[in-house]
Structure 1
């Protein structure tokens, strides 16, 4: 057997600054940080009826057995140790002692088993069920509790991305919740997790709040580390204020209506960084931004038309405009910051209008309208559509923009009901998970855009393989095949740009591009 967690964890005294921040909570008025959100959350159930805002919010309330670190590796969270059997089929998680749920009950291995049984129940409609019920790499065969603080997962075949999948924010981090989160009839009530904040007031369409969990049991590291490490909360309340319009959000920041904007456009960053009292926080991220094709569409089922679109886009100009020069072109599903982004992944589509026109003529395309879905909640998606429409006019492709509310676009994406769509996938921190987000059987998962049988085989091999050079060769084959199939056109990975008011201490942008309000405090002058 071997231990998955290889980094030494030291149990030292927290830094002086963290201690002082904790002491400030004992005096004065309750502290509040207001964060601008571009849309309301969809639910409070981890990984169910979710979107990126829902994920960001729920990760303050629940915690999983493991979680992503700052560098996108996976580390322990509620587990203090993870052991994997030599055959890769048995995972043993030993829980930390003294962890409490937000209702005061102690965390036990039985709670972990109950939570996972809840997630694995099809009635829950957990987003990540296919990754664990046999439709993905492997199936969880059994979850047993040999000791009060030890839980054992048994799977049917080796899975090189099991822990990374457990950690995914869109899975709610596979957050462990107390059974009282669910009513007797199985309906969801509210999350009772182990995280640094509890669910506060939710005025739908206006704001949703977090309250500091005063009996939170932090890990012993000196500081936060991604979604793990020391996640102590230093403010009493966090209010996520719903401000769908970007201009209104910027005005709210400048007027003091909010203290933090976790995601601003590159154009706003250029302005706000010069405003006194504002601090900009940037980080490259592993989001995947591009254009999706419905390959079963009567028109776009012809790969020649899809390839003509790919050859007609001036990616350098597009990415410079979308990111204000902060990001670079990437036609690969593998993010540029990934260890698996190599010379093969760097190969992309050339800008070749003559070849695009030749392909369109050969395909018999003569200006039929193609609807491209966009939304205005995420300006980069809308601008991506506008730029694509303009560039494709040069070769006679008739793009008609269809602007939807974000929720409506998400439903169309989930059902596969579109011709083209400007879209952005939340970060995946393993290259196999990046490919998995777009690859699959459309009959079973309509949201998947790539269902090439050869790609499915290669992906399964990459997900099961643990040897880096062998995985690299598989990812190189997948990239080359995707360039030929053109089920989508990857354009770039984003840059996380957050802006905070002076006096907000400890807030950081990071590759996962989601706000984290633990470890964040108010300076004495701003309280």
Structure 2
């Protein structure tokens, strides 16, 4: 996800208590005397006390405004309370939301969505095509100040980029309500993953009358929100937690079994484990020190994610980082297996490229992208040292001090120390770790005020482009100094000339990844993240998503509690 430059902050929180957010939330509610488990017997109006899910999040929701949301906490609960055109269903396939079906023109530029006529907002208003027109225009309107609107729609929806830049009026965005149940979208070019994009939070509809009535208070409190999805937020105690209840007016309410979801903000792993052990919550994340204790438990689960972490290299910082042999040496000298087995100890796996495992498949063979392209980096200390010595000769220096931009938490510092130790196996290399807060690292990344940093990226849509398009010349999230006309052309050709030829497009992405990692050594892949968790066995059918909302609770239920 954009700026999933969660960097080592997220790495640290994987170890200490996963923060599902790009930006932080409120304080932990350690003084909260309420017992979320008690709600099972006291506050379910239906009398069905079993259908209450009690969980934790590690940060406050920053906003529930779909135009302004940038973090996964917000996207999680937007996805739980609001249906877009489509939702992510089983196996990350788009399933009908407000759209019952869609038609695509032969040239791939015009998408016509046929909306259901039984969808309502929680204030009783019908959900119409105009709600999508308003929401999408608002997201790219420069007056809104949306970060994700221009990012997700620019170059995708016709005129979005020009509107975001102030060069065209908002009403020229390529969206139109033919009538209440017909929404037409015109694209800048064919987008093979567009249907997947429509499941993302930025593309959710908004009720114009309600949004404008609430003004700057919109989406900041339970009573300034509307829902058209499976659940609605009925209570929001900032910094402490929030409550969702089943939306009885939801168009598909008959398939929603949970009556209530209680969410408590808890940042400390030990506290979360204690709440789990005492039956007050139904799920908790485990940091490395708890994994061995619970690994044999039937409640122990691994949540795999298509999120990659890597060392990002500023090639313009000095001569040695600008040398491809030196960068290849850094790729080869790090023992990723020990990193994931010992330091993380949570199911994460070594990263060997820039596209994660179990994310996308070859459109013809069905083989996983990662299996097709193989391991583009290997662990070989002897070869690393040989390449490093060659690089030193080419640069004409014997010793180098490189700044490593790291996190300021204790666990982040432990990981930094491991990577420092690995890199310093290269003769004459000294790594100087600079530990700064998360926001400072984001700021320094944007300004390219770094030499090495630990960075990460999670997908915004299900397509290799979400990872590989980052590294084109002057890309908004490139910030490495990398520029290759050949690489740019591979990505451009994949997205333009081969937009409607899936297999050729896939082959271009394979070539681009090899060039990026194997040939040009732009990044030092580290690991693909996973989460170690405890789940109560009576919680069923919670869907884990690779993008957008981490979980879908639409079909979840409690059995035999």
> Given the two structures, how large is their TM-score scaled by the length of structure 2?
0.76
Structure 1 residues 60-107: Cα deviation after superposition (integer angstroms, max 9, x where no partner): 122221233332333332211011100111000011221111222110
Pick closer, same or farther for the CA change 1:40–1:78 going to 2, 3 Å.
same
Deviation of residue 247 (structure 1)?
Answer: 3.2
Distance 2:248 2:560 in 1: 21
Is contact 1:334–1:434 with CA below 8 Å preserved after alignment? yes
Counterpart of 1:67 in 2: which secondary structure? strand
- 2:283 pairs with 1:260: yes
Note the residue ranges of structure 1 that are not aligned, 5 or more in a row.
Answer: 1-23, 221-229
Structure 1 residues 438-462: Cα deviation after superposition (integer angstroms, max 9, x where no partner): 3245475566875534323322222
Distance 1:329 1:242 in 2: 31
Structure 1 residues 403-459: Cα deviation after superposition (integer angstroms, max 9, x where no partner): 4444544454455543332233223521112213x3245475566875534323322
Which residue of structure 2 aligns with residue 163 of structure 1? Answer: 195
Is contact 2:133–2:177 with CA below 8 Å preserved after alignment? yes
Deviation of residue 384 (structure 1)?
Answer: 4.5
Question: Within 5 A, what are the aligned runs for 1:263-278?
Answer: 263-265=285-287, 268-275=290-297
Distance 2:354 2:157 in 1: 19
Deviation of residue 56 (structure 1)?
Answer: 1.9
- 2:484 pairs with 1:452: yes
Which residue of structure 1 aligns with residue 339 of structure 2? Answer: 318
Note the residue ranges of structure 2 that are not aligned, 5 or more in a row.
Answer: 1-43, 161-172, 220-224, 362-368
Pick closer, same or farther for the CA change 1:450–1:202 going to 2, 3 Å.
farther
Which residue of structure 1 aligns with residue 267 of structure 2? Answer: 244
Deviation of residue 189 (structure 1)?
Answer: 0.9
Structure 1 residues 366-424: Cα deviation after superposition (integer angstroms, max 9, x where no partner): 231412223649x6x66643321221121143333344444544454455543332233
- 2:236 pairs with 1:202: yes
Which residue of structure 2 aligns with residue 495 of structure 1? Answer: 530
Is contact 2:327–2:522 with CA below 8 Å preserved after alignment? yes
- 2:148 pairs with 1:127: yes
The structure 2 residue matched to 1:72, chosen from 67, 92, 101, is 92
Pick closer, same or farther for the CA change 1:130–1:53 going to 2, 3 Å.
closer
Deviation of residue 115 (structure 1)?
Answer: 1.0
Q: Which range moved further: 478-487 or 199-208? A: 199-208
The structure 2 residue matched to 1:467, chosen from 501, 519, 522, is 501
Deviation of residue 137 (structure 1)?
Answer: 8.9
Question: Within 5 A, what are the aligned runs for 1:58-457?
Answer: 58-124=78-144, 125-134=146-155, 139=159, 141-168=173-200, 172=201, 174-180=203-209, 182-183=211-212, 187=216, 189-190=218-219, 191-218=225-252, 232=256, 234-239=258-263, 241-261=264-284, 263-265=285-287, 268-275=290-297, 279-298=299-318, 300-322=321-343, 324=345, 326-337=347-358, 338-339=360-361, 340-351=369-380, 352-362=383-393, 363=395, 364=397, 366-374=399-407, 376=409, 384-395=415-426, 396-413=428-445, 416-427=448-459, 428-436=461-469, 438-442=470-474, 451-457=483-489
- 2:551 pairs with 1:515: yes
Is contact 1:284–1:495 with CA below 8 Å preserved after alignment? yes
Pick closer, same or farther for the CA change 1:416–1:344 going to 2, 3 Å.
same
Pick closer, same or farther for the CA change 1:265–1:455 going to 2, 3 Å.
farther
Pick closer, same or farther for the CA change 1:492–1:371 going to 2, 3 Å.
closer
Is contact 1:178–1:193 with CA below 8 Å preserved after alignment? no
Distance 1:451 1:347 in 2: 20
Distance 2:436 2:553 in 1: 31
Pick closer, same or farther for the CA change 1:87–1:28 going to 2, 3 Å.
closer
Distance 1:286 1:188 in 2: 35
Pick closer, same or farther for the CA change 1:281–1:181 going to 2, 3 Å.
farther
Distance 1:93 1:449 in 2: 41
Distance 1:32 1:449 in 2: 51
Which residue of structure 2 aligns with residue 19 of structure 1? Answer: none
Deviation of residue 114 (structure 1)?
Answer: 0.9
Distance 2:318 2:311 in 1: 18
Deviation of residue 119 (structure 1)?
Answer: 1.2
Is contact 1:382–1:422 with CA below 8 Å preserved after alignment? no
Is contact 1:45–1:188 with CA below 8 Å preserved after alignment? no
Pick closer, same or farther for the CA change 1:264–1:408 going to 2, 3 Å.
farther
Counterpart of 2:244 in 1: which secondary structure? strand
Structure 1 residues 219-277: Cα deviation after superposition (integer angstroms, max 9, x where no partner): 88xxxxxxxxx5x25132321x222233333233223443212x4346534422445xx
Distance 1:411 1:58 in 2: 27
Distance 2:157 2:521 in 1: 24
Distance 2:317 2:477 in 1: 16
Deviation of residue 109 (structure 1)?
Answer: 0.8
Distance 1:288 1:107 in 2: 37
Is contact 2:55–2:283 with CA below 8 Å preserved after alignment? yes
Is contact 1:176–1:194 with CA below 8 Å preserved after alignment? no
Distance 1:309 1:298 in 2: 15
Instruction: Report the count of equivalent residues.
Output: 481
Pick closer, same or farther for the CA change 1:390–1:203 going to 2, 3 Å.
farther
